[in-house]
Structures are given as C-alpha cells and as structure tokens.
C-alpha cells in the first residue's frame, strides 16, 4: 500500500500576525462593499479571526500522536467496529465554504482497538482544515490503517457543500458521497457487504439532517 501523503503542509509561508489577519478581514469587508468602521462591523475582524482559530483547529495537531494510546485486551474480538453518523464540519479549500455531513468509520481489529472518542477526534482533526472531501476521506482511512494496523478500514463520508448550495450552481439537497475501503473491506465481498448493511440501517441520510 502506498504511504499516505504528509498531513501537514510541507512548505507553509510564515504565519501572519493576528493583527495582519484582522486587517485582511477588514479588506474583505471593504471588497464586499461595506464599511468596516461602522458600529456593527467594528469587532467583526476580531470575531472572524477567533472563529478561524476554531474552524481550522486541526492544523498543528498530529493525528498519529493523538491515536497512539491503543488497547490490546480485546478478548479475541474480531468483528467489525463501526462508528456511524458522526457529524463533521469542514471547509472546502476552493471557496472556504462549509462542508457539513456525516462520517461512518469502521475497522476490523487485528490485535488493537482504540477508544471510540478517538475515532471521532480523528475525523475532527482532519475536518478542521481546508479540505476536499476526497482527501478528507483518504486521510482518515490511511491514518487509522497506519496506526492500528487492522485487518481492514472503511470510511464513508456523506456531505453537503455550501459552495454548491449558496453560490455557483445553487443546487440544494445534493449529498456528495465518498469512500475509502482498505484491507478486508476492499478484498472480501462479505465483509464489505456487512459494512454497507450496517451503515444503511441508519434509516436516514446525511443530507437531510444538516
Ligand atoms: Zn468549494
């Protein structure tokens, strides 16, 4: 299997100061046609910078590090472990518009398992970055595969892209679905079928709930 791509931008220019970031927001406000000095907008650059810190908090967190603590006492459990319908919020790297959806993440343990909150955290670390859905899907699957070395990993993301609903083609109600299947989920038809039936028994789809 190919090594996963590096997760942090390799060559990032030096990070600007917070004052520079706020000034850039003022510029965008002026570009949009409003006056950043009117009362309602005075604190907006500050708020936007703070929001960016939260929306893009996935940079600077090492997902492999975060996953390091695994458990080996599994009593021989060797069936699929699935966390489904995990809501995630990300931003498309082309428009910085929200991508909101649900993730289903499964693995087939070999000798190690991890706490379920770590699975959710893994999704968040990659989601809170500038993304395309395909890359987000692959990063989650590859990292889980690399750290746990399970018999298989399956990741399915269903999401709505606000760059498509609020601009451009203005198509609402459209979900994009991406998947990455590794190991047994790719090679074994029964395992794949079991996974697909486990995630489809949710009785709802990601698009309607977001
Ligand atoms: Zn976009």
Angle at 53 between CA 52 and CA 59, to 5 degrees: 105
Q: Is the pTM of this model over 0.75?
A: yes
Distance in Å, CA 92 to ligand 1 centroid: 5
Q: Please indicate whether residue 146 is annotated as part of the active site.
A: no
Q: Please indicate whether residue 104 is annotated as part of the active site.
A: no
Determine the Cα–Cα distance for residues 42 and 40; give it in Å rounded to an integer: 6
Determine the Cα–Cα distance for residues 207 and 210; give it in Å rounded to an integer: 6
DSSP state, residue 7? S
Q: Please indicate whether residue 95 is annotated as part of the active site.
A: yes
User: pLDDT, tens digit, for every residue of 124-172?
Assistant: 999 999 999 999 999 999 999 999 999 999 999 999 999 988 888 888 8
Distance in Å, CA 102 to ligand 1 centroid: 18
Q: Catalytic: which of 89, 149, 163, 194? A: 163
Cβ atoms 109, 151 nearer than 8 A: yes
User: pLDDT, tens digit, for every residue of 62-83?
Assistant: 999 998 877 777 778 889 999 9
Cβ atoms 167, 123 nearer than 8 A: no
Determine the Cα–Cα distance for residues 27 and 19; give it in Å rounded to an integer: 12
Query: How many CB atoms within 10 Å of residue 122?
Result: 25
């Amino acid at each position: 299997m190919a090594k996963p791509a590096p997760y942090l931008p390799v060559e990032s220019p030096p990070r600007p100061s917070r004052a520079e970031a706020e000034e850039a927001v003022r510029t965008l406000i002026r570009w949009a046609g409003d006056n950043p000095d009117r009362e309602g907008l005075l604190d907006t650059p500050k708020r936007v910078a703070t929001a960016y810190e939260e929306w893009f908090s996935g940079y600077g967190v090492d997902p492999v590090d975060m996953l390091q603590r695994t458990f080996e006492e599994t009593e021989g459990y060797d069936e699929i472990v699935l966390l489904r319908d995990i809501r995630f919020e990300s931003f498309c790297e082309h428009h910085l518009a929200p991508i909101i959806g649900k993730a289903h993440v499964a693995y087939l343990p070999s000798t190690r398992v991890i706490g379920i909150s770590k699975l959710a955290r893994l999704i968040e670390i990659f989601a809170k970055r500038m993304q395309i859905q395909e890359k987000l899907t692959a990063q989650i699957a590859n990292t889980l595969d690399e750290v746990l070395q399970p018999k298989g990993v399956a990741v399915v993301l269903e999401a709505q892209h606000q760059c498509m609903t609020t601009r451009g083609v203005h198509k609402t109600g459209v979900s994009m679905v991406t998947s990455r299947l590794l190991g047994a989920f790719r090679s074994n038809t029964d395992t794949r079928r079991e996974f697909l039936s486990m995630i489809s028994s949710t009785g709802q789809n990601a698009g309607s709930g977001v």
